């Protein structure tokens, strides 16, 4: 929700993916999914001046490798900058997907093949190539930030952390009220708003939605 809100406020296209969707039983398929995902994000960014990418449950493929670094695969490139944490679950067959994501993030400052050719043309006429007018802003989420591989949080990658705490009582009342307006009840449920808010102490907005829907 937070990533969508940022995209909506900025007027930029938004892409999201559950990290577990990148995993695959066949070697290399998950890495190809990562490449295609970021390739589409870059295409949108070039068209609209930027794009926001959100990867949920990033720990599913970015859990700590215990200091054993996967070998890089040259040629993978991309763009991003910031990150937020709040969901979880890690599988052990993810080093290739993680390595691919790392190289996609590192590609943020690297020029594409087309940009390198254009830079040479500018150089031939004695001019400096103008800076890139687009970027891909990447966010990710996990409930277990301590389990994330440190390589992912180095400078230039997902190097900013935003902790999202459960809403307080007044926040829960607003969230509950919003969800109640979307469903039919036998009697006005607003009269039970404060009771529901107290009963749902500590719940996240997603948990509140599930409780009301059930």
Each residue's pLDDT tens digit, 88-129: 333 444 578 888 888 888 876 666 677 778 888 888 888 888
Mean pLDDT of the region 9-15: 92
Each residue's pLDDT tens digit, 61-91: 887 665 444 333 334 333 333 333 333 333 4
Mean pLDDT of the region 151-172: 89
Q: Are 162 and 195 in contact (CB under 8 A)?
A: no
Residue 185, pLDDT score: 67
Predicted TM-score (pTM) of this structure: 0.67
Residue 37, pLDDT score: 93
Angle between the 29-48 and 95-106 helix axes, to the nearest 10 degrees? Answer: 20
Each residue's pLDDT tens digit, 18-28: 988 887 767 77
- Higher-confidence residue: 191 or 20? 20
Residue 187, pLDDT score: 65
Residue 138, pLDDT score: 92
Q: Where are the beta strands (DSSP E) in the chain?
A: 14-18, 51-56, 136-140
Mean pLDDT of the region 140-157: 88
pLDDT-based confidence at residue 200 (cuts at 50, 70, 90): very high
Q: What are the residues whose beta carbons fall under 8 Å from the beta carbon of 138, sequence distance 6 or more?
A: 52, 53, 54, 55, 79, 80, 81, 82, 83, 105, 158
Sole residue written with tokens 């994000």 = 41
pLDDT-based confidence at residue 145 (cuts at 50, 70, 90): confident
Angle between the 205-213 and 169-180 helix axes, to the nearest 10 degrees? Answer: 40
As a whole number, the mean pLDDT across the chain is 78
CB atoms within 10 A of CB 187: 7
- Higher-confidence residue: 181 or 185? 181
């Amino acid at each position: 929700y937070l990533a969508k809100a940022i995209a909506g406020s900025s007027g930029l296209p938004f892409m999201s993916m559950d990290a577990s969707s990148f995993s695959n039983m066949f070697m290399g398929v998950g890495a190809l999914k990562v490449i295609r995902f970021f390739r589409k994000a870059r295409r949108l960014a070039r068209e609209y001046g930027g794009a926001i990418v959100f990867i949920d449950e990033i720990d599913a493929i970015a859990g700590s490798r215990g200091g054993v670094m996967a070998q890089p695969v040259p040629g993978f490139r991309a763009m991003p900058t910031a990150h937020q944490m709040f969901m979880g679950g890690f599988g052990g067959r993810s080093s290739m997907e993680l390595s691919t994501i790392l190289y996609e993030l590192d590609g943020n400052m690297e020029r594409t093949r087309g940009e390198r050719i254009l830079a040479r043309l500018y150089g031939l006429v004695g001019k400096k190539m103008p800076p890139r007018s687009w970027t891909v802003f990447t966010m990710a989420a996990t409930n277990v930030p301590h389990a994330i591989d440190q390589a992912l949080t180095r400078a230039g990658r997902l190097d900013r952390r935003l902790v999202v705490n459960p809403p307080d009582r007044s926040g829960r009342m607003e969230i509950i009220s919003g969800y109640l307006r979307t469903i039919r009840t036998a009697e006005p449920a607003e009269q039970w708003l404060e009771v529901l808010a107290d009963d749902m102490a500590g719940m996240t907005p997603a948990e509140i939605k599930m409780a009301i829907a059930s």
